[in-house]
Chain A
Amino acid sequence: MPQERVVPPGDVTQRVGVEVIRARGVDVDKLIRMLIANAGAEFASTYYYYTILRMHLAGHEDYKEICEDARLEDRAHFELIVPRIYELGGELPNDLPAFHDQAGCRAAKLPDPPTAVNILTLLLESERCAIRSWIEICDMTFGKDPRTYDLAARILNEEIEHEAWFIELLAHERDGKSIPGGHFRRGEPGHAPYSKNASFYIGS
Chain B
Amino acid sequence: MGSGSALQTDHVDKKENTSKLFTVRLLTPGGAKTIRVSDAKHIWDAAFDQGVTLPALCHQGWCLTCAGRIEGTGEVDQTDSLAYFPQDRNERYALLCTGKPCSDLTIRTEQAVAMRRNRLRNRLPAPYSQGLEP
Q: Which residues of A contact B (CB under 8 A)?
A: 29, 32-34, 36-37, 90, 93, 100-106, 121-122, 124-125, 128-129, 132-133, 136, 167, 170-171, 174-175
Contacts and interface: CB of A to CB of B under 8 A. Distances in A.
A171 B7 contact: yes
B63 A105 contact: yes
Interface stretch (B12-20, B27-35, B38-46, B123-131): B123-131
Interface in B36-84: 57-60, 62-63, 82-83
Given A125-B3, A171-B7, A175-B7, A102 B130 contact: yes
Q: How large is the interface on B (under 10, 10 to 19, 20 to 34, 35 or more residues)?
A: 20 to 34
A151 B129 CA distance: 22
Contacts of B125: 100-102
B58 A102 contact: no
Contacts of B3: 125
Contacts, number: 74
Contacts of B60: 105-106, 125, 128-129
Residue of A125, A136, A174, A175 most packed against chain B (CB within 10 A) = A125
B129 A105 contact: no
Interface of B: 1-3, 5, 7, 57-60, 62-63, 82-83, 124-132
A36 B59 CA distance: 19
A105 B128 CA distance: 10
B130 A93 contact: yes
Contacts of A132: 57-59
A105 B62 contact: yes
A32 B62 CA distance: 19
Given A125-B3, A129-B58, A170-B7, A106 B129 contact: no
Contacts of B63: 37, 104-105, 129, 133
Residue of A29, A101, A170, A174 most packed against chain B (CB within 10 A) = A101
Contacts of B62: 104-106, 129
Contacts of A101: 124-127, 129
B131 A105 contact: no
Contacts of B132: 33
Contacts of B131: 29, 32-33
Contacts of A175: 7
A163 to B, nearest CB: 10
Contacts of A125: 1-3, 5, 60
Nearest to A129: B58
A34 B83 CA distance: 19
A100 to B, nearest CB: 8
Given A121-B1, A122-B1, A136 B57 contact: yes
A4 B131 CA distance: 24
Contacts of A103: 127
B7 A102 contact: no
